[in-house]
Chains A and B, each alone.
Chain A
Amino acid sequence: MLDQLINGLVVGNLYALTAVGITQIYGVANVINFAHGSLYMVGAFVGWMAVTWLGLPLLPTLLLVLVASALLGLAVERVAIRPFAGSGRTVLLLTTIAAGLVLEQAAQLIWGPETKAFHTPFADVRVRVGGGFLSSLDLVILAVGLTTALALWLFLKRSRLGWAVRATAQDREAALQMGVDVNQVSRVSFAMAGALAGVSGLLVGLYYHSVYPTMGFSASLKGFTAALLGGLGNIPGALVGAYLLGTAESLAVAWLGSTWRDLVGIGLLLGVLLFRPNGLFAAARALLPEPTAGTFIPIGRPLPIPRWALPAAGAVALALPLVVRNGYWLQVLATAWIFGLLAISLNLIAGTAGQISLGHAGFLALGAYASAILTTRLQWPFLLSLAVAPVIAAAVGVVLCYPALRLRGQYLAVATIGLGQGIALVALNWTALTRGPLGISNIAPPGLFGVEITSAAGFYWLTLTLLLGGIWVAERLSGSYLGRALRAVREDEVAARAYGVGLERYKSIAFGLSAFIAGLAGVLLAHAYTYIAPDTFTHAMSLQVLTMVVLGGLDNTIGAVAGALALIVIPESARFLAEYRFLVYGLLLLVMLRFRPRGLLSAAS
Chain B
Amino acid sequence: MVLVSLRGAQRARFWLAWVLAFSVVLAGCSSAATAPSGAQGSAGSQNGAQGEVLIGVMGPLTGDSAEYGKIWRRGFDLALEEINAAGGVQGRPLNYVFEDTQSDPKQSPAVAQKFVNDPRVVAVIGDFSSPASMAASPIFQRAGLVQLGITNSHPDFTKTGDFIWSNSTSQTDEAPFLARLAVEQLGRKRLAVLHQNTDWGKTTADLFVEQARALGAEVVLQEAYLLTEKDFRPVLTKARDAQPDALVLISYYNDGALIAQQIPAVGLDVTVLAASSVYSPQFLNLGGAAVEGVYTVSRFHPADPRPEAQQFVERFRERYGTDPDTFAAGAYDGMKILAAVLNRVGVDRKALRDGLEQAEHLETILQGATAFGEDRRLRNPRFVPLVVRGGAFAIWNP
A 30-81 contacts with B by CB, 8 A: none
Contact with A along B222-253 (1 / 0, CB 8 A): 01111011111111011011000000000000
Contact with B along A83-127 (1 / 0, CB 8 A): 100000000000000000000010010001111010100000010
Contact B237 A530 (CB under 8 A): no
Instruction: Judge if A258 is at the interface, Cβ distance under 8 Å.
Output: yes
Contact A328 B106 (CB under 8 A): no
Contact B31 A4 (CB under 8 A): no
Contact B21 A580 (CB under 8 A): no
Contact B70 A210 (CB under 8 A): no
Number of CB contacts from chain A to chain B under 8 A: 241
B 17-72 contacts with A by CB, 8 A: 17-18, 20-21, 24-25, 27-29, 31-32, 35, 37, 39, 61-64, 66-67, 70
A406 shortest CB reach to chain B, Å = 30
Contact of A438 among B39, B99, B202, B234 (CB under 8 A): B202
Bound-state CA distance A4–B235 (Å) is 9
Dominant SS at the A interface? helix
Contact B197 A428 (CB under 8 A): yes
User: Smallest CB-CB separation from A541: which chain B residue?
Assistant: B106
| Chain A residues with CB under 8 A of B374 | none
| Chain B contacts to A: CB under 8 angstroms | 13-14, 17-18, 20-21, 24-25, 27-29, 31-32, 35, 37, 39, 61-64, 66-67, 70, 98-100, 105-107, 109-110, 112-114, 116-117, 129-131, 134-135, 137-139, 142, 154, 156, 159-160, 194, 197-199, 201-203, 223-226, 228-235, 237-238, 240-241, 254, 257-258, 261, 264-267, 282, 285-288
| Chain A residues with CB under 8 A of B240 | 131
Contact A454 B142 (CB under 8 A): yes
Contact B14 A595 (CB under 8 A): yes
| Chain B residues with CB under 8 A of A588 | 21
Bound-state CA distance A149–B66 (Å) is 36
Contact of B131 among A249, A327, A528, A535 (CB under 8 A): A535
Contact B285 A117 (CB under 8 A): yes
A271 shortest CB reach to chain B, Å = 21
A38 shortest CB reach to chain B, Å = 14
Contact A576 B32 (CB under 8 A): yes
| Chain B residues with CB under 8 A of A208 | 230-231, 258, 261
Residue pairs across A and B with Cβ atoms less than 8 A apart, 7 shown, are A3-B237, A4-B237, A259-B224, A436-B197, A438-B154, A529-B109, A536-B135
A224 shortest CB reach to chain B, Å = 15
Contact with B along A568-605 (1 / 0, CB 8 A): 00011011111111111001101100110000000000
Contact B199 A438 (CB under 8 A): yes
Bound-state CA distance A339–B27 (Å) is 30
Instruction: Judge if A250 is at the interface, Cβ distance under 8 Å.
Output: yes
Contact A254 B66 (CB under 8 A): no
| Chain A residues with CB under 8 A of B28 | 574, 576-581, 584
| Chain A residues with CB under 8 A of B142 | 454
User: Smallest CB-CB separation from B109: which chain A residue?
Assistant: A331
Contact B234 A132 (CB under 8 A): no
Q: Check A257/B110 contact, CB under 8 A, given A578-B32, A581-B100, A594-B17.
A: no
| Chain A residues with CB under 8 A of B159 | 441-442
| Chain A residues with CB under 8 A of B203 | 438
Q: Check A572/B110 contact, CB under 8 A, given A436-B197, A533-B130, A577-B28.
A: yes
Bound-state CA distance A105–B66 (Å) is 11
B207 shortest CB reach to chain A, Å = 13
Instruction: Judge if A447 is at the interface, Cβ distance under 8 Å.
Output: no
Q: Check A259/B113 contact, CB under 8 A, given A115-B67, A576-B28.
A: no
Bound-state CA distance A576–B353 (Å) is 30
Contact B66 A531 (CB under 8 A): no
Contact B288 A132 (CB under 8 A): no
Query: Which 8 residue pairs across A and B have the least CB separation, nearest first?
Result: A113-B66, A577-B28, A253-B234, A580-B28, A529-B135, A531-B134, A114-B67, A331-B113
Contact A578 B20 (CB under 8 A): no
Contact of A591 among B18, B29, B198, B286 (CB under 8 A): B18
Contact of B197 among A218, A259, A577 (CB under 8 A): A259
B126 shortest CB reach to chain A, Å = 15
* 10 other A-B residue contacts (CB within 8 Å) besides A133-B267, A581-B28, A581-B62: A258-B224, A332-B110, A429-B197, A441-B134, A454-B138, A532-B131, A536-B135, A572-B107, A574-B28, A580-B28
| Chain A residues with CB under 8 A of B223 | 257-258
User: Smallest CB-CB separation from A595: which chain B residue?
Assistant: B14
| Chain B residues with CB under 8 A of A331 | 109-110, 112-113, 139
Contact of B25 among A108, A133, A577 (CB under 8 A): A577
Contact A133 B266 (CB under 8 A): yes
Contact A528 B24 (CB under 8 A): no
Q: Check A528/B109 contact, CB under 8 A, given A131-B237, A259-B225, A578-B28.
A: yes
Bound-state CA distance A124–B37 (Å) is 48
Contact B286 A439 (CB under 8 A): no
| Chain B residues with CB under 8 A of A132 | 233, 237, 265-267
| Chain A residues with CB under 8 A of B98 | 578
B139 shortest CB reach to chain A, Å = 8
Contact B70 A114 (CB under 8 A): yes
Bound-state CA distance A126–B290 (Å) is 14
